[in-house]
Chain A
Amino acid sequence: MKISYFETGRYIPPPDMPREWPVRSGSCDPDTVSHALRGMAERGRFVEKLGFDWISLSEHHYSPRILTPSPAVSAAWLVGQVERIKIALLGPIVPTSNPIRVAEEFAMLEALAPGRIVAGLLRGTTNEYLSYDLNADEARGRTDEGMELILKAWTEPEAFGWQGRYFQFRTVSIWPRRQENGLQSYVLGTSAEAGSFAARHRMGMGVSYGPFEVMARATAHYRRECEAFGWTPGRDDIVFRANMILAETDEQADAMLAGRDARPPFPIGGRLRDALIAADTSRNIAGQRMQANVGGVLPISFCGGPDRVVEQIRRCRDVVGTGVLDISLTDPGTDSLDAMMDSLALFGRTVLPRVRDI
Chain B
Amino acid sequence: MSFRESFVEADGFHIRYMEAGDGPVLVHLHGAGGMRLHRGHDLLALKHRVIIMEMPGFGSSAENTRSASTRDLAETMAAAIRALGIGSYDLMGTSYGGKVVLWLAALHPDRVRALVLEAPAAIRPLDARPSTGTPEERARRIYAHPERMPPPPPVDDVVQARQLALVMRSIGPARDAELEERMRGMETPVLVLFGTMDRIIPSEMGRHYKALLPHCHLIFVYDAGHAPGAERPEAFSEAVTDYLARQEAFVVTRRGTMIFP
Contacts and interface: CB of A to CB of B under 8 A. Distances in A.
Contacts of B251: 161, 170-171
11 contacts: A148-B196, A152-B220, A158-B206, A159-B210, A161-B219, A161-B251, A162-B220, A163-B236, A164-B235, A165-B222, A170-B253
B235 A158 contact: no
A170 B196 CA distance: 15
Which of B193, B217, B255 has the most A CB atoms < 10 Å from its CB? Answer: B217
Contacts of A165: 222-223, 235
B207 interface: yes
A148 B193 CA distance: 16
A157 interface: yes
Given A164-B235, A170-B253, A171-B251, A158 B211 contact: yes
Contact of A145 (B204, B222, B236, B255): B222
A325 to B, nearest CB: 34
Given A157-B207, A158-B211, A149 B222 contact: yes
A156 interface: yes
B22 to A, nearest CB: 25
Decide if the interface of chain A is mainly helix, strand, loop or mixed.
mixed
Interface string B167-203: 0000000000000000000000000010010000000
Contacts of A171: 251
B221 A163 contact: yes
Interface of B: 193, 196, 204, 206-207, 210-211, 217-223, 232, 235-236, 238-239, 250-253, 255
Query: Which 10 A-B pairs rank lowest in CB-CB distance, beginning with the nearest?
Result: A161-B219, A158-B210, A164-B222, A163-B235, A170-B251, A158-B207, A160-B218, A163-B221, A171-B251, A163-B239
B220 A170 contact: no
Nearest to B218: A160
Contact of A158 (B196, B218, B236): B218
A148 B223 CA distance: 9
A168 B196 CA distance: 14
A105 B62 CA distance: 58
Which of A149, A157, A161, A164 has the most B CB atoms < 10 Å from its CB? Answer: A161
Nearest to B222: A164
A34 to B, nearest CB: 34
Contacts of A159: 210, 218
B28 to A, nearest CB: 18
Given A158-B207, A160-B219, A170-B251, 6 more contacts: A152-B220, A158-B206, A158-B210, A159-B218, A160-B210, A170-B250
A176 to B, nearest CB: 19
A165 to B, nearest CB: 7
Interface residues of A, number: 18
Decide if the interface of chain B is mainly helix, strand, loop or mixed.
mixed
A163 B218 CA distance: 11
Contacts of A145: 222-223
A168 B255 CA distance: 10
Interface string A144-180: 0100110010001111111111011011000000000
Contact of A163 (B204, B207, B232): B232
A192 to B, nearest CB: 16
A74 B250 CA distance: 37
B211 A163 contact: no
Contacts of A161: 217-220, 239, 251
Contacts of B252: 170
Nearest to A158: B210
A163 B236 CA distance: 7
Contacts of A152: 196, 220
A177 to B, nearest CB: 13
Contacts of B239: 161, 163
A162 B218 contact: no
A160 B206 contact: yes
A2 B235 CA distance: 44
A163 B255 CA distance: 14
Contacts of B196: 148, 152
A156 B208 CA distance: 11
Given A148-B196, A170-B250, A171-B251, A163 B210 contact: no
Which of A148, A162, A167, A170 has the most B CB atoms < 10 Å from its CB? Answer: A170
A160 B220 contact: yes
B226 to A, nearest CB: 15
B13 to A, nearest CB: 35
Contacts of A162: 219-220, 222
A90 B114 CA distance: 45
Nearest to A149: B222
A163 B206 contact: no
A163 B217 CA distance: 13
A161 B116 CA distance: 14
B211 A148 contact: no
A148 B221 CA distance: 11
A209 to B, nearest CB: 30
